[in-house]
Amino acid sequence: MSHEVTPDVRARPLFPGRPQALHAGRDLGGKLRRVQDSGAPAHPLPAGMRDLLPEEALRQSQLGRAAVNAFSVCGYERITLPVFEYAEVLERGLGALDPREVLRFVEPESGEVVALRPDMTPQIARLVVSRLAAAPLPIRLCYEGSVVRLRRERARRHRQIPQAGIELVGRPGLAGDVEVVGVASRAVRAAGLRDFTVDLGHPRIAGALLDVAPAEHRSALIEALSVKDSESLARLAAAAGVDATIARALVALAELSGEGDVWSRAHAVLGSTPAAPALAELEGVA
């Protein structure tokens, strides 16, 4: 059933006996104009939040649909997820995301600490181990929506971030990795980009090196590695008494990126470390 908006609301009074309500829109517009003309400040938004006007909102919506359509063609089924959940559930699967970027609050009805989702992967992990526990593998899911992250670095302007992606569960190894990279590339092309770079990584490359470091020093090393601060990495590794080969590898991780000789450079510094197997897996995907 379709509905049309009647331009002249006076033809059908919404509030009989209260004609002043019919002019509320015009009165509000006049008040806003008077506020603007007076030089008074507009109503501010919280830091990092913004409105999307029609043209930008339409473009963002089109990009989201293009990505989801590309995911669907590849066999991924769309799900929607709640905007907030219990904080302990979300924070359990944050991976490399800093917990200090999570926006928490107390849910009034339960008194429990909840959090606005900073990423959708922890939510999908919860969904898979609970409601989809008996589903046949592999499971292919896709999503599109907004996440909220506190801005720890001034370089990131926005807290509310549009996000679209896929999760492939139950297809381990090289085949699964290659599939995910292929689907991601297809989605980027569907969004209209032709010249782009896929940034590949492997959590066990850094993880294998950090496992060697004393436990009390790992959080500081992770922090320096996450912002690619090679000077801090060198200083922290020395303070932790990390073996010189491992220390050089950690510092190199902050600088290893690009094309061409990146693999030869990576093998030169990581080939004799516990990170070598993960590096070989990553090279197989590339």
Q: What are the pLDDT digits (tens) for 71-123?
A: 999 999 999 999 999 999 888 877 767 788 899 999 999 999 999 999 999 99
Please tell me the predicted confidence (pLDDT) of residue 4. 39
Helix (H, G, I), strand (E, B) or coil at 178: helix
**Where do the domains of the chain lie, and which CATH numbers do they carry?**
54-190 (3.30.930.10), 203-285 (no CATH)
pLDDT surpassing 70 at residue 124: yes
Percent of the chain with pLDDT over 90: 60
CB 282, CB 208: distance < 8 Å: no
The rounded distance, in Å, linking the Cα atoms of 132 and 126 is 9
Work out the mean pLDDT of the chain and round it to a whole number: 84
- 163 conformational bin, left if phi > 0, alpha if psi -120 to 50, beta if neither: beta
pLDDT of residue 203: 86
Helix (H) or strand (E) holding 284: helix 276-285
| Percent of the chain scoring above 70 in pLDDT | 83
Q: Confidence class of residue 19 from pLDDT cuts 50, 70 and 90?
A: very low
The pLDDT value recorded for residue 180 is 95
Q: Is the pLDDT of residue 196 over 80?
A: yes
Whole-number pLDDT of residue 200: 84
Other CB atoms within 10 A of residue 185 CB: 14
Identify the CA nearest to 269 among candidates 240, 233, 232.
Answer: 233
Beta partners for residue 147, in sequence order: 161
Give which of 85, 180, 176, 77 is closest to 126, Cα–Cα: 85
Interatomic CA distance for residues 68 and 56, integer angstroms:
18
How do the residues of the chain divide into helix, strand and coil, expressed in percent and rounded to 5? 50, 10, 40
Contact 78, 143 (CB under 8 A): yes
Residue 13 has pLDDT above 80, yes or no: no
**pLDDT in the model for residue 177:** 92
Q: What is the pLDDT of residue 106?
A: 96
**Which of 78, 286, 72, 284 has its CA nearest to residue 186?**
72
* Strands across the sheet containing 113-116: 84-86, 113-116, 104-106
Q: Which residues contact 196 (CB under 8 A, 6 or more apart)?
A: 188
Q: If you ran DSSP here, which 8-state letter would residue 214 be given? A: -
**Which residue has better confidence, 97 or 254?**
254
Residues near 145 by beta carbon (within 8 Å), at least 6 away in sequence: 80, 81, 83, 120, 162, 163, 164
Bridge-based pairing of strands 104-106 and 84-86 is unpaired
Q: What is the DSSP string of 74-85?
A: TTPEE----SEE
Cα separation, 50 vs 82, whole angstroms: 21
Confidence of residue 148 (pLDDT cuts 50, 70, 90): very high
Predicted structure pTM score:
0.72
